[in-house]
C-alpha cells in the first residue's frame, strides 16, 4: 500500500459539508489501518491484491467508511488494471470528482459524496464501455452487498 505525502486527508482539502462527518480519531477507531490509509489519506492498495477485484456476483458496492451506495455490479468490468473497475457510479451524485495533481500529472480523484472518503480515480480510457470511463477503485474503499 502506498500513500502520497503530497495528498492530505479528504476532509482537509474538500468542503466539510458531507452528510457523514467524523473526527480523525473516530475514523481511526472505525476503520482498519489499511482502510484508513486509503479512505482518509488517499492511499492506494497494491494492484492485483484487492478482495473485490474478481467479485462477479450480482449486487451493490458501497463505501467502506459510510455504507453509501456507489456502484452496481452490472457496471463492473475487467479493465486489466489490477483494481476493481466500473464504467459509472450508481448515480451522478454518489461520487465527488476532484482534480488531483499529487503525482505530477493531472488525474481525477473519486471520493464518496456522502463522507468525502477517497475511493480511487476515474480515467477516460474505459474503451468499449457505454460511458468510455474507467472508475479505478481500491477494494479497501468498498464493501460488497450481494442482491
| Helices and strands (H and E) in the chain: how many | 3, 9
Strand, helix or coil at 71? strand
Residue 112 bears catalytic tag? no
Q: How far apart are CA 120 and CA 11, in angstroms?
A: 15
Cell 489501518 belongs to 33
Q: Which of 63, 112, 115, 136 is catalytic?
A: 136
Q: How far apart are CA 63 and CA 30, in angstroms?
A: 13
The neighbour count for residue 77, using CB atoms within 10 Å, is 14
CA dihedral 63, 64, 66, 67 (to 10 degrees): 60
What amino acid positions are annotated as catalytic residues?
A: 136
Amino acid at each position: 500500500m502506498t500513500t502520497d505525502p503530497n495528498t492530505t486527508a479528504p476532509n482537509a482539502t474538500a468542503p466539510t459539508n458531507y452528510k457523514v462527518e467524523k473526527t480523525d480519531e473516530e475514523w481511526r477507531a472505525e476503520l482498519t489501518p489499511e482502510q484508513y490509509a486509503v479512505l482518509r489519506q488517499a492511499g492506494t492498495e497494491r494492484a492485483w491484491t484487492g478482495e473485490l477485484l474478481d467479485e462477479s456476483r450480482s449486487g451493490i458496492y458501497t463505501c467502506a467508511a459510510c455504507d453509501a451506495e456507489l456502484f452496481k455490479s452490472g457496471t463492473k468490468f475487467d479493465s486489466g488494471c489490477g483494481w476493481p473497475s466500473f464504467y459509472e457510479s450508481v448515480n451522478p451524485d454518489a461520487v465527488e470528482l476532484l482534480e488531483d495533481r499529487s503525482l505530477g500529472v493531472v488525474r481525477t480523484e473519486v471520493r464518496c459524496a456522502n463522507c468525502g472518503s477517497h475511493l480511487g480515480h476515474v480515467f477516460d480510457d474505459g474503451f468499449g464501455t457505454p460511458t468510455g470511463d474507467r472508475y479505478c477503485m481500491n477494494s479497501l474503499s468498498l464493501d460488497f452487498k450481494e442482491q
